[in-house]
A and B are shown apart, each in its own frame.
Chain A
Amino acid sequence: SQTIHQWPATLVQPVGSPLSLECTVEGTSNPNLYWYRQAAGRGLQLLFYSVGIGQISSEVPQNLSASRPQDRQFILSSKKLLLSDSGFYLCAWSPRDFQNTGELFFGEGSRLTVL
């Protein structure tokens, strides 16, 4: 069966510090991968998605970047965090036939607090 892991689960970082959140998927090949941010009162916002190694699509201009160095690994990064980067970050994957199923499978999330 497929599983998705993301870490760390909780992170408290000072403003201006770097960020690295990691997500890995097991039990499947060539998944589509996604990073979403969930901010209080603002719902779920798609940040990045990737349909293959090295292929990253950015949905919103911001202080964050994403990389996909391996087929089942997706990393969210920042060189200098801002207060506004605080939130709950969710990694998700979908199978290649997402066009037919439309289902995303989510990790348990990483809560980032920037102080």
Chain B
Amino acid sequence: ETGVTQSPTHLIKTRGQQVTLRCSSQSGHNTVSWYQQALGQGPQFIFQYYREEENGRGNFPPRFSGLQFPNYSSELNVNALELDDSALYLCASSSGTGLYGYTFGSGTRLTVV
């Protein structure tokens, strides 16, 4: 059974650029959630995808968008990067019922300069 994998592990971008982060869900999981964790804070929910449809969104602007693919992998896209977007981005997957909870990947650390 494979866990949740994220790529890339680290990324440096310039303000105003666009970035795409990728996540492969754990085998058997059809739900993917994305979280942003600023330094010294707890993870904040960005959005969630269930069977390729967005089914929940946190308090993030529209320049944060995502996709889920038929194999349940997912992408997080951020347009017009701002310095405050610098953070650890975490992906988590779960079964459709949420039973047994969420499994997290090791994250992508994004630095915007």
Q: Is this pair of chains taken from one and the same complex? A: no
- A-contacting residues of B (Cβ < 8 Å)? none
Q: Which residue numbers of A lie inside 8 Å of B, CB to CB? A: none
